[in-house]
Structure formats: structure tokens, C-alpha cells
Amino acid sequence: MIRPLLALALLAAAPVAAADVQVSASILPQGRISETTQVRLIIRIEGSSIPDVGSPKLPAMKNLQITGGPSTARNSSYTFDNGRIVSSSSLSLTYVLAPSGKGPAEVPPFDVIVGGTAYRTQALRFSVEAGRSGPAPPATAPGIRGDDGGDDDAGDASADVFLQAKLGSSSVYSGQPVRLDVTLYAAAPVNGFTWTDVPSLPGLWTEDLPVDPSRDRRIVTMNGRQYNAYPVARKLVVPTGSGALTIQPFSAQVQMRRPSRDPFGSFFSLGGYVNIVRRTAGLKLDVKPLPEAGRPSDFSGAVGSFRMKVTADRTAVELGEAVAVKVTIDGEGSLQSAVAPKLTAPPDVKVYDPKTLDDAMTGADHLGARKTWEWVVVPLAAGTVNVPAPTFAYFDPGTASYRQLRGEIPELSVRRGNGVVDSVAARGEVQANTRDIAFLKMRRGALQEARPPLHRRGWFLALFVLPFILTPAGIAFGRRRERFLTDHGFARARRAARTAAKRLDRAGQRAGVSPTAFHEEVAGALVDYVADRANRKASGLTYDQLDDILAAKGVPAEPRRRYRTCLETCDFARFVPDSGRPQAVAELVAEARAILRRLEEVA
């Protein structure tokens, strides 16, 4: 796009004088033109000066396609004629055309606008011959124009290049794979390669195979010449129907180095490059239909020669356990449309749908194929289980007949195990098809009224606080109880008042029976009380010792005096039984109780 604009800009700068402008169109090369020849359409504008030139609109051409251009070339010259300067200019616009096929070709007349004036070119007609898609004839030496010298570049060794397509077999069965190779043969080094036309292949399933022209290049000799053979395309084609199929030509543009005619230039790799279009010949493929006769019911389209391998991951299982059965089909041919072999399940065996583990092309030429399927088989009954052999049908092109493979699944020994069949595991876990809300809650018991939360209810708070109160109390109680059990003095002191009170009660009961016993009991209560409080032995304590004990415990003098008086009264009455009045008994008991209370308070 930039090039024509640049040309037009240059032209725009030219002086405006279109009086002697001439416009012509021509075709190069002049000689023989083949399908693979690059045709150049040259529009030449000449004159003393060339004004503005509009970009010509080429008409629809017969058997020709525009593949490049326009490129421009400008030339100016000045001559002296009788003392005056005569200028002349020329402008060439060049388009690159490619023949669509052999046969007559024509460039109709078209207008070229120069300085606002339309100049009409003449019609150009020529014939396109079939192009060469093979090696040059033996008589043609490199650099010498041969029979195919019609090629514009045929005069160069670089022109000895051709593209060749080849099928592995020209006659195959439907579904039988065949390899298609496209190879570029060049007598001189190739600098670049670009596909210009890769035909679609109707009626064929194709898969591109990896190809590396540089790595796989080999040298071949054809018609006495050495060529570099570059594999440029490799396909695996599988006919999907039957009948005569035509594979249209592949075409590509090859860039090659043009040898310099100068030996020094040749030595230094001078001479430039040339682009050459090359095209393969069309190919015919005869596809034979698969015979109807003898076609097995389980035939799924596999064509070739195959083997079957059957394996089971174990043959001894417990009831409900799964066994993985694998069937592998491999061999030469196509398994593209093959489906899993048929595995019929007996009533006491659950066979799940197979899954494809492997699906690959094999072999160096990729004409092999391998497919592996796996079934999960779950025996549902104990004992010996025989799963029927899987079968696989295919068509063998070598014998033109159908064949059936039959594999043997090893006999399965099924133990009862723990006697429980995990039906869920054996038959597949139940899965929900959809989700919906669960049903209502039915009432059991009365409905509950609104209540404050648990931690705000009184009983809960009480239960929560209670340990903090009970713990100190419990500790205190426990410690006291333990001291009672371990500290005898403490226990006696704590029990002293209660023991004394009981003895006084007992004394009161004896008062009417025996005054002596009464007074002994009262005196004993008083003495034992002090002895218990002091953890001393009661027997043998004198009045003075008792008084000392009480004084040591901080008892004031007045209670001590009352205590001693009461004790002396009792002792006196023991030895003088009739010395007291009857009402004195109650008074004595009351006095003794009062004294003990007082002692409890102060001691």
C-alpha cells in the first residue's frame, strides 16, 4: 500500500506536460508460460515529462490472479538535439500475476489516467501450458534453457525446483488410512518457502503429522540430477466415503538464490534472490467401499490389521469389590471411528460403562493406532464368575474381509468376605439430581413459648454463681473436718461445751434419784469442760490448777470465782447429801450453764 502511494507522490512532483505521453502494457516473460510461471504485467508510461498518474484499476483477467504489485520504476534522460536539451521520462508499473491453470489467459484493455487523460492499453493474450511438477529432463543441464525454458527463471539452476505430492496408496478402502506427503525438490539451496494454496480435502478426514524440512532433508538423484528433497507437508488421510477422490494441487512460493554470472560474485554469494511458484500435480485416490457381505453386527468402522489384549487388575476379590478390566486394540490402520468392544454382563455381575484411557497413533509412519478402554466390573455373587469375552470387529484390507477379535477375561474368584455386600459401593453412590428444601418439621410435644435466653434465666445464673460461694465454704468445712479428725485437742475443745451441756442435762435427770450423782455429774461437767478446752486430763485437777488454766485462757476473775464456787458447792453437796434445798438443784444447774456460757464467751 505504501509503495503505490510513494510512486504517486513522486509522480505528483513531476512537471505537468502530457502532450507526448505514450502508455503501453506488456507481459513478461515473452516465451512459454506455464502454470508455475510468475507473470509480470508491465505498464509503461513514456514522455518528455510525466504528469500525475492515477493508480490503474486492473480489470478482471482470464485465468490470471494478481499476487503482487504494483512496483514502480522511473527513468529520466536528457539529450542534446541541435543545441537544445531534449528530456524524456518513463515510468513502469509492474504487477505480479499467477496463472490459475493451463489454458488461454487474457488481460483485457484497461485505462491508465495520466495527467487527467485516460490512455487505454491493448489487450494481452497468451497461453498457459501445464507446469512441470517433476524433475527436469535428463538432457537439460543446469544453467541451460531446456524444454521447459518457458519458465521465466528456467535459465538459472535455481529454477530446477519442483513440488511433488505423493499418496501412500492410490487405491484404498473407505476408512483405511493413507499417508500424503508433499516434498519440495530443489537443485539449489532454498532460501524461503511459503504456501500459496493448500487445498481442502473433501471426503477425507485428515490429520497433520509433524514434519521438519531441515531435519528430514535428504538428497535424491532424479534423471541424473541431485536434488535436495524437503518434506514440506505430511498428512494422514482417511477416506470417509467411497468413490474416486481428487486431491487438488498444492502450490507454494519458493525463494531461491539466483547464481551470479560473475565468478567473483558467485564466490561471494552475490546475485540476489528469485521467487518461484511451484505447484504439485493433482492426485487421484480410488476409495473402495467396505463390503456389505459378512459385516459383523458390532463392526464400528475400524479398518486395518489389529490385535486385542485383555487384562484384569485382579482375579480374586471379595463380594462387592470392583475389578478393572482393560481391553487394548492396536495395530496398523485407523481406529478413529472404533467404539468400545462389546462386554456382555452376566446377571450376577455389574458392568459399568467403559471409559477410554488411550487413543493414539502409533508407528514411525503414524499409520498405526491404539485404543484402550477400561470397564469396572463388580461381582454381585460369591463363587467363580466368568465374564463373557469381549469381541471387536474390524475390516482387514489385506484380505478384503471382516475379522473379529475375541479376548478372554480371566476367571474371577469371588469370596464372600464379611458377608455384607456394600450395595452402595457396588452399584454406584446415589447422587442427588437436584436440590430442594427439606420437608416440614412435625410436632412432637407442645410448642415452646418465648423465653429469655438460657444465660439470662434466674436458675442458670444461680447455678453459675453458686460455685463461687460454695467453694470457700467447702474448703473451710473440709479443713475444719480434717482438723477434727487429726487434732484431738482441737476436737475436745470444740466439743467441750456440747459435752458439758449434755452432762448437765443428764445431771438434771438424776437430781430426783440421787443427789450425790447429780452433784457429781454437775462437777464433772464443769471440770471436764475446762480439761477439754485445755486438752488436759480431767482426773487429778485441783481447784487451783483449774483456776490457773482459766486464767491462762484470759478468763476474768469474776467468772473464775463463780466457777470455783459452783464447783465447791457440788463437792460439798456430794459429801453432805441433805445440805441443799430441792429448789437449789435447778439453781445449780442454771448457774453451771450460765458459767459455761460465760466461759465460752471469754475463753
C-alpha distance across the termini of the chain, in Å: 128
Report helix, strand or coil for 224: coil
Q: Are strands 273-279 and 64-81 parallel, antiparallel or unpaired?
A: unpaired
Report helix, strand or coil for 488: helix
CB 441, min distance to other proteins, A: 4
CB 469, min distance to other proteins, A: 9
C-beta of 13 vs 454, nearer to other proteins: 454
Closest C-alpha to 287, from 179, 172, 169: 172
Whether 89 and 72 have beta carbons less than 8 Å apart is answered as no
**Measured CA distances, 385 to 81, 224, 316, 347 (Å):** 114, 70, 10, 10
C-beta of 81 vs 449, nearer to other proteins: 449
**Measured CA distances, 477 to 396, 414, 483, 484, 602 (Å):** 104, 72, 10, 10, 24
CB 570, min distance to other proteins, A: 42
CB 437, min distance to other proteins, A: 4
Closest C-alpha to 150, from 136, 170, 169: 136
CB 461, min distance to other proteins, A: 10
C-beta of 440 vs 513, nearer to other proteins: 440
C-beta of 5 vs 476, nearer to other proteins: 476
CB 490, min distance to other proteins, A: 14
C-beta of 127 vs 471, nearer to other proteins: 471
C-beta of 215 vs 435, nearer to other proteins: 435
Q: How far apart are CA 254 and CA 156, in angstroms?
A: 14
Closest C-alpha to 568, from 550, 547, 548: 547
Beta sheet of 383-385, edge-to-edge order: 316-318, 412-415, 383-385
CB 340, min distance to other proteins, A: 38
C-beta of 202 vs 474, nearer to other proteins: 474
CB 212, min distance to other proteins, A: 50
C-beta of 6 vs 475, nearer to other proteins: 475
Contacts 24+ apart (CB under 8 A), 336-339: 336/175, 336/205, 336/238, 336/301, 336/369, 337/175, 337/300, 337/301, 337/302, 338/300, 338/301, 338/302, 338/371, 338/392, 338/394, 339/300
Whether 301 and 241 have beta carbons less than 8 Å apart is answered as no
CB 467, min distance to other proteins, A: 3
C-beta of 211 vs 491, nearer to other proteins: 491
CB 422, min distance to other proteins, A: 24
With left for phi above 0 and alpha for psi between -120 and 50, is residue 271 left, alpha or beta? left
C-beta of 433 vs 448, nearer to other proteins: 448
- Establish whether the linkage from the previous residue to 202 is cis, with ω within 30° of 0: no
Beta sheet of 243-247, edge-to-edge order: 171-173, 283-288, 243-247
CB 492, min distance to other proteins, A: 20
DSSP character string of 538-580: STT--HHHHHHHHHHTT--HHHHHHHHHHHHHHHHHHHSGGGS
Whether 371 and 338 have beta carbons less than 8 Å apart is answered as yes
Q: How far apart are CA 127 and CA 106, in angstroms?
A: 8
Q: How far apart are CA 7 and CA 117, in angstroms?
A: 18
Report helix, strand or coil for 290: coil
C-beta of 215 vs 443, nearer to other proteins: 443
- Establish whether the linkage from the previous residue to 29 is cis, with ω within 30° of 0: yes
C-beta of 198 vs 485, nearer to other proteins: 485
**Measured CA distances, 501 to 290, 519, 582 (Å):** 128, 14, 21
CB 493, min distance to other proteins, A: 20
C-beta of 73 vs 466, nearer to other proteins: 466
CB 465, min distance to other proteins, A: 10
List residues near other proteins by CB under 8 A: 435-443, 446-451, 453-455, 460, 463-464, 467-468, 470-471, 474-479, 481-482
CB 488, min distance to other proteins, A: 16
C-beta of 84 vs 435, nearer to other proteins: 435
Cα 564–chain centre separation: 107
C-beta of 272 vs 445, nearer to other proteins: 445
Q: How far apart are CA 39 and CA 27, in angstroms?
A: 7
Closest C-alpha to 389, from 330, 357, 341, 350: 341
CB 593, min distance to other proteins, A: 34
